[in-house]
Amino acid sequence: MEELAETFVELVDNLVDEFELADVLSLLADRCVRLLDVTAAGSLLVDRGGRRQGTGGSDAESSRLCLLEDGPGHECYRSGEQVHSTDLVAAARWPEFSARAVAAGFLSVHALPLRSRGEALGGLLLLRSERGMLDKASLRVAQALADVTATGLVQARSLRRQADLAAQLQHALTSRVVIEQAKGVVAERLRVGVDAAFNALRRHARSTNTRMTDLAMAVVNGDFEIDRLRWR
């Protein structure tokens, strides 16, 4: 129980600051192998258009198996429900997946959706080297780990978007302040109105292919000869 609690904390901790999606998905897979009676695990995250965003696995083969669209990972993502096969040798449900999984030594598979607020974002594959069904308690633990990871990813993305928006707004505000300051400097120096000063700055920026903010900053810092501006 203590290791399980530590795993939940570890998954959340890895979703702060600058995280790599593949690392988070691989961590989820690794911890499933450590905590549950499974041989290998892999996880897949997709966008709303069904395009792959990232994969991770406890080994290379489990990561590759996640990619197969003819497989339980994509099926559970599309349905939003768990998918199970207790005997991949006898299963005809996913021909390519089953053949590759059996060749790699896996005889059964459980696919669980990565979901947040009821929306499936991907799939978690639990691969076993023996036939049979995982017990219900293990499946509940695996689903909880998948859901925590998915919810954490959604929240992390939201925070990133908010931070990006705040940075853009701050940049816009800073640019506007600098331009207003430059307009005042030009108006005073050339003895013209602020509208004429702004037009002169804009005309020069366009003719020299210079960003308006950069020109305004140069004016405010005294690094630009204002007499070069044409205001008439």
Tokens 């036939």 correspond to 131
**For the residues 87-100, what does the mean pLDDT come to?**
87
Position 232 confidence tier, pLDDT thresholds 50, 70, 90:
low
Q: What is the per-residue pLDDT for 159?
A: 46
pLDDT at 197 over 80: no
Same domain, 15 and 114: yes
**For the residues 12-40, what does the mean pLDDT come to?**
78
Instruction: Show the domain range for 41.
Output: 2-162
Strands (E), the chain: 40-46, 52-57, 83-85, 108-116, 119-128
Among candidate residues 115, 143, 162, the one where a domain is terminated: 162
Mean confidence (pLDDT) of the chain:
79
Same domain, 113 and 178: no
Q: What is the per-residue pLDDT for 164?
A: 52
Position 19 confidence tier, pLDDT thresholds 50, 70, 90:
low
Query: Which CATH number covers residue 176?
Result: 1.10.10.10
Position 8 confidence tier, pLDDT thresholds 50, 70, 90:
low
Same domain, 9 and 63: yes
Q: Which of 108 and 191 is assigned the larger pLDDT?
A: 108
Same domain, 36 and 68: yes
**For the residues 10-39, what does the mean pLDDT come to?**
77
Q: What is the per-residue pLDDT for 107?
A: 93
Half-sphere exposure (Cβ direction) of 184: Cα atoms closer than 13 Å: 9
Number of domains in the chain: 2
Residue 94 in contact with residue 68, Cβ under 8 Å?
A: yes
C-alpha angle 41/3/53, rounded to 5°? 35
Q: What is the per-residue pLDDT for 131?
A: 92
DSSP assignments along 54-75, one per residue: EEEESSHHHHHHHH-SSSHHHH
Same domain, 20 and 115: yes
Among candidate residues 162, 181, 216, the one where a domain is terminated: 162
| Tokens of residue 25, six digits | 């998905």
pLDDT at 169 over 60: no
Same domain, 87 and 175: no
Same domain, 131 and 185: no
**For the residues 89-99, what does the mean pLDDT come to?**
86
Residues 6+ apart with CB under 8 A from 3: 34, 35
**For the residues 13-34, what does the mean pLDDT come to?**
76
pLDDT at 112 over 90: yes
Position 21 confidence tier, pLDDT thresholds 50, 70, 90:
confident
Among candidate residues 120, 138, 162, the one where a domain is terminated: 162
Please tell me the distance from the alpha carbon of residue 87 to that of residue 108, in angstroms, as a whole number.
5
Q: What is the per-residue pLDDT for 158?
A: 55
**For the residues 115-120, what does the mean pLDDT come to?**
76
Count Cβ atoms within 10 A of the Cβ of residue 106 and give its class: 0-12 exposed, 13-18 middle, 19 or more buried.
Answer: buried
Please tell me the distance from the alpha carbon of residue 14 to that of residue 10, in angstroms, as a whole number.
6
Same domain, 122 and 219: no
**For the residues 210-228, what does the mean pLDDT come to?**
79
